[in-house]
Amino acid sequence: MNFILDRLTLRSFLPIFLISLLFFVLILQLVDLFEHIVTYLNREIPASVIAWSQLLFLPQTMVFSIPPALLFAISFTLGSMYSNNELIAVFGAGRPLRRFVLPLILVAVCTAAGLFFFDDQVAIPAQGARNELRRQLIGSSGFTTTNTTVSWDGGRLVFFTEYYARSSDSMDRVTVIERSSDGSLLRRISARSARWSDGRWVFTDAVIFEPVGESGRLTAQRHETFSDERYTVSPDVFRRGSEDIQEMTRAEARDFIQQRQDAGLPSRQAETDYLSRYAFSMTPIIVAIFATAVGSRVKKSVLLLSLLTALILSVLFYVSSMIFGLFARFGYLSPAAGAFGPVLLFLFLSIFSLFRART
């Protein structure tokens, strides 16, 4: 009896889930396409390139679409069963609601685990490739950072560059300040450019200022090229300083955060975005519990109410995530609280709704 009802529930749920997932993916694809259609037309970008760009966007749309699709599918399935009096028969047979929806909750748990790895291994690399393609299409793949300052080794080395070229790991108009542990000046380098070669920075057309004696008078020496083993700050510090952490895998994001902390740069927003990936992977479980409570109450206009519920709860969750993220960014909350706060809030509300659901 138990397995028969479980199979019945899954057979009713899975087709609706796949159709709703396709619907939400299509909506996001169309919104993105029409948002950039003017740029595509003005630059006369070929249709094949546009299609490839949209294909690279597909994994990301799937990640965003799974939670609302799951919420809609579960609430619609249960609502349809309730309107057809099927749930009344199930409850009359002694099967409580929480046991009846257990297969759907297990599907949500498996989806959450799969979503986490799919996002990290497929969606994020695809989105990074798409963003790089768009940068090339609009001609912005040259200098990617301007007026970048990097502090290294506890502030003993400070780099300032007006332009950093991501594609060639080179800098234009570079100033390097080297200080001792007590903060006194050891050397200042002003160079026209610098490039990364053999594990160190090589400065071109460099003027080196160094203090002489106790007077602190500076002497200047000009070098056509200059390098020193002390200037080995990784290009990743400059390159990733301009990158969006959303384009990095988990391993790359951890390295990025560590590099910013080592360089003395703010990392609260990066930490919040990194932890939000773990929090977001829990949303299928939350929406499944919410949908169970909603579906057991809906008897009329099941399709409309299920769709509205999915959209409203999705908007509320994303808005609350933005608010918590801003609080974490400005220091009112810790990065962990900013990332997991909305998830824990909606998890509490969903469990509360489930225990008050019709059974």
Let me know: does 159 contact 194? Beta carbons within 8 Å.
no
How far from 79 is each of 39, 205, 303, CA to CA, in Å?
43, 73, 8
- Contacts (Cβ under 8 Å, ≥6 apart) of 79: 294, 295, 298, 299, 302, 305, 306
Q: How many Cβ atoms sit within 10 Å of the Cβ of residue 245?
A: 21
Distances (CA, A) of 334 to 245, 254, 265, 331: 18, 17, 17, 7
pLDDT at position 203, please?
93
- Residue type present at position 353: S
Note the Cα 98 to chain centre separation in Å.
33
Q: Model confidence over 290-340: pLDDT tens digits?
A: 777 766 665 555 566 666 776 787 788 888 888 998 888 888 889 999 889
Name, of 88-92, 131-135, 161-165, 171-175, the range with top average pLDDT.
171-175
What CA–CA distance (Å, rounded) separates 109 from 102? 10
Stretch 47-64: mean pLDDT = 92
Q: Give percent above pLDDT 90 in the chain.
A: 19
Q: Is 72 a residue whose pLDDT tops 70?
A: yes
> Is there a contact between 71 and 81 (Cβ–Cβ < 8 Å)?
no
Structure tokens at 186: 């050891």
- Of the pLDDT bands very low, low, confident and very high (cuts 50, 70, 90), residue 142 is very low
d(CA 248, CA 44): 30
* Mean model confidence pLDDT for the chain: 81
- pLDDT exceeds 80 at position 107: yes
Residue 154 in this model has a pLDDT that exceeds 80: no
Strand order in the sheet with 217-227: 143-152, 157-165, 170-179, 185-197, 200-212, 217-227
Mean pLDDT to the nearest integer, 264-288: 84
Rounded CA-CA distance 80/303 in Å is: 9
Predicted confidence band at 23 (pLDDT cuts at 50, 70, 90)? very high
The 10s digit of each residue's pLDDT in 190-209 is: 999 998 888 889 999 999 99
The most confident of the ranges 131-145, 248-262, 306-320, 327-341 is 327-341
| 3-state secondary structure (DSSP) of residue 140 | coil
Separation of alpha carbons 53 and 336, rounded Å:
33
Strand ranges (E), 117-216: 143-152, 157-165, 170-179, 185-197, 200-212
Confidence of residue 21 (pLDDT cuts 50, 70, 90): very high
Contact in structure between 289 and 273 (CB atoms under 8 Å): no
Question: Which domains are delineated in the chain?
Answer: 2-138+268-355 (no CATH), 143-262 (2.60.450)
Angle between helices 335-355 and 268-280 (to 10 degrees): 30
Question: Between residues 30 and 132, which one has the greater pLDDT?
Answer: 30
Answer with the residue of higher pLDDT: 164 or 110: 110
Q: Tokens 């047979």 map to which residue?
A: 93
The residue ranges of DSSP E strands in the chain, in sequence order, are 143-152, 157-165, 170-179, 185-197, 200-212, 217-227
CB-based contacts of 45, cutoff 8 Å, min separation 6: 39, 137
